Amino acid sequence: MSEDMIYKVQEAIACSRTWAETGWPVTFGPRNVEVSSLKQAQSLPKNFVFRQEAINYWNQAKLTGHDAAESGQKALHALKNSNISAADDALYFCQFIEKPFVEYSKTWLPLYESFKKEMLAVL
């Protein structure tokens, strides 16, 4: 597998680990209050009705990002050892884990699609 793919996986791992910090625009409540990171959610006033919902959302994004990154590490190890089948399995799992956030995170699904295209080109 190409060095470029290894680099892309490394970047995705780093990105995935920081989803809750770097965030993306998400709104909460009937007034559509934008809360774009875990830090922002935690800084909401305690009497903000949707504070806990926002904190829970961003904690879930953090946990999901870390889980995806762990699977990404497995893919990286497999790529470095030319084990394409294991890399495919790990990257598939990354994009599966990402599904609840894929509309915003856009990390693992595009990478997995790129990986599949590169594999087809090699075959």
State pLDDT tens for residues 80-97: 999 999 999 999 999 999
Residue type, 63: L
Backbone phi, psi, residue 59, to 5°: -65, -40
Predicted confidence band of residue 2 (pLDDT cuts 50, 70, 90):
confident
Rg (alpha carbons) of the chain, rounded to whole number? 17
Q: What is the pLDDT of residue 99?
A: 97
- What's the pLDDT score for residue 52? 95
**pTM for the structure as a whole:** 0.92
Confidence label for 1 from pLDDT (cuts 50, 70 and 90): low
